[in-house]
Amino acid sequence: MNSNAFLLTQNPQSGAELHRYPVHSPQEIDVRLQKARRGFIDWRRSPMAHRKELLDQVEKILLREQEVFARLIELEMGKLFSEAMAEVEKCAKCAAYYRDYGPEFLAPLPIPTEARLSYAAFEPLGTVLAIMPWNFPFWQAFRCALPSLLAGNTVLLKHASNVTGCALAIERIFQEAANRSDLFQALLVPGKSVLPLIARSEISAVSLTGSTEVGKEVAAAAGAVLKKCVLELGGSDPYIVLKDANLAQAASICAQSRLLNAGQSCISAKRFIVEKSVHAEFQELFLQALQSAPAAPLAPLARADLRETLHKQVVRSVEQGARLLCGGKLPESLGFHYPTTLLSTVGPGMPAYEEELFGPVAALIEARDAEHAIEIANNSCFGLGAAVFTNDLRLGEEIAQSRLEAGACFVNTLVRSDPRLPFGGIKESGYGRELSSFGVREFTNVKTVLIENGNR
């Protein structure tokens, strides 16, 4: 590794350089990996009360310095300040949730057998390598680290390079909360250096939130050394609008989901599949909702290359027959802004139909009827989230529970993550689950313990 290399952060509002962080040398990486391993040996034996106290302190620090952290997120990633404040608050709530309920999830689970005593115990695995993205720079890291640490693991964070300041802030939070530096550490390394780390003996498991392409590489590297990994990857979430839905309400919720975080969310709505009989009416309501959304003017995209990729997808879709109802033009202003964009008559083969649109671009797709809408929704390599809008709640529940192919299916509301609910995808959106009781057990050894009487 080049000892003179650095990680660059920029202000997405202007494109101006913020800071250059020297990458960690191979020697520094060795030190941090070995420290994490030694920390695990001690931390795994710590009483649950100590682990709960760590999360309690994390919550207090997040709330105490909420505005400071939100300003940092806004500066490095470009997120609206109000959304950044909400992100930090969500991290604090997650800490409180696992502090209050995590010990119950990790308690031995009795399993009746003929033995005197039998149960499943949940033992930590070791050091978790968390490879995290830039779009929710605090939330993604905390939703992995909090349950991992509570379970008795230690964590090494390899964050996206463009939010390196956030990575160091998160490191400080955990180290201050724990009053020690070996439980949570940031690794300042470029993306190309991640795969070799997975093979290191100090690493026991991997958690990645990122693109499908990177997920396949990480899965292959982890599989080659037989290490557990959890992958939360890309998504092209379909929102189905049936003919009996409250169209005005559906249009408002769909616009909210599409524009959240300037459209830079794996679980934001991207494909809007509407029954033919109400398509024209919904299109008009949806266009109005997008153009009058409270988030306007939008925050910028996080990087110049992300904007370039998104614009190429829009241009190619229009060239292949999509209609541009609004937006779709590169602004001349500084920074990495992209306008709210609505494409209609979107069909198979177009980027807006086949690919993930990571930005404020909505693809409107017409379906003959409800069955056709479900077919279109499932005709995707992705399977992260999905939603259906209908006044027939029994039908909506049936579609959500047993007809849609996704890890999270919501009825009459936008898909979102919640510490109380399991989160993750299927197909090329990844595997494994975060959050809830499922998330805290992902990086544990589910150990069978069976005891018989000593004398027979």
Cα 283 to chain center, whole Å? 29
Whole-angstrom Cα distance, residue 400 to residue 372? Answer: 15
> Which DSSP letter does residue 400 get?
I
Q: Which of 322, 325, 263 is nearest to 288 (CA)?
A: 325
CA distances from 37 to 57, 114, 125, 175 (A): 23, 38, 11, 16
211 C-beta neighbours (distance < 10 Å), count: 16
Structure-block tokens of residue 33: 């990996």
SS3 state at 280: helix
Q: Which residues, 6+ apart, have CB-to-CB distance to 371 below 8 Å? A: none
| Half-sphere exposure of residue 35: CA atoms within 13 angstroms, side-chain side | 16
Whole-angstrom Cα distance, residue 413 to residue 421? Answer: 15
SS3 state at 320: coil
CB 363 within 8 A of CB 346: yes
At residue 198, φ and ψ (nearest 5 deg) are -60, -30
Told to judge if 213 belongs to the known catalytic residues of this protein, a careful annotator would answer: no
Whole-angstrom Cα distance, residue 365 to residue 359? Answer: 18
At residue 360, φ and ψ (nearest 5 deg) are -80, 55
Q: Which of 260, 31, 34, 51 is nearest to 139 (CA)?
A: 260
CB 161 within 8 A of CB 7: yes
**β-bridge partners, 271:** 238, 363
Whole-angstrom Cα distance, residue 284 to residue 101? Answer: 45
Catalytic residue (choose from 171, 202, 232, 354) = 232
Beta strands 117-124 and 109-110 are antiparallel
CB 412 within 8 A of CB 389: yes
Geometric angle at alpha carbon 335, from 162 and 289, rounded to 5°: 100
Q: Which residues, 6+ apart, have CB-to-CB distance to 133 below 8 Å? A: 140, 160, 209, 210
Catalytic residue (choose from 91, 144, 266, 409) = 266
Whole-angstrom Cα distance, residue 210 to residue 131? Answer: 8
Told to judge if 266 belongs to the known catalytic residues of this protein, a careful annotator would answer: yes
Catalytic residues: 232, 266
